[in-house]
Amino acid sequence: MAEIIAFADFERLDIRVGTIIEAEPFPEARTPAIKVTVDFGAEIGVKRSSAQITAHYSLDRLIGRQVLAVVNFTPRRIGGFESQVLVLGLPDENGAVVLVKPDFRVPDGGKLF
């Protein structure tokens, strides 16, 4: 069972929707990954992330896709690359990442609540 947290802990996470505007290979990563650039709208701006999503997504299939990401984590350096946000996904039956996205197009920068 998952650890129980207070609602205030959840509220500290800033999870926003953004549109992937760029995707490129990331051969320097230890685990196969793709570098994505995501536009979160005027308030958050454009941020970059390393995402282990190579099993289900090709570079061209990612452009224009909306995704959810945590935008208020401290950036991490991965293979010389600064990952500024954590793009969210769920594992499929084989453990490969499937991106989380809204069912309908929504304005970039919208906050999950």
In tens, the pLDDT along 69-108 reads 999 999 999 989 999 999 999 999 999 999 999 999 999 9
Mean pLDDT of all residues in 50-77: 97
pTM of the model: 0.94
Flag whether 106 is in a domain.
no
Flag whether 66 is in a domain.
yes
Residue 105 confidence (pLDDT): 98
Report the candidate in 18, 53, 16 with the shortest Cα–Cα distance to residue 35.
Answer: 53
User: 62 φ, ψ to 5°?
Assistant: -85, -30
CB 100 within 8 A of CB 91: no
Flag whether 112 is in a domain.
no
Q: What is the CATH number of the domain that holds 43?
A: 2.40.50.140
Q: Which domain holds residue 58?
A: 7-99
Beta-carbon count within 10 A of 12 CB: 9
Residue 1 confidence (pLDDT): 83
When divided into structural domains, the chain yields a total of 1
Flag whether 1 is in a domain.
no
One-letter amino acid for residue 78 of the chain? I
Q: How confident is the prediction for the chain on average, in pLDDT?
A: 96
Query: Quick one: pLDDT band at residue 113, thresholds 50, 70, 90?
Result: confident
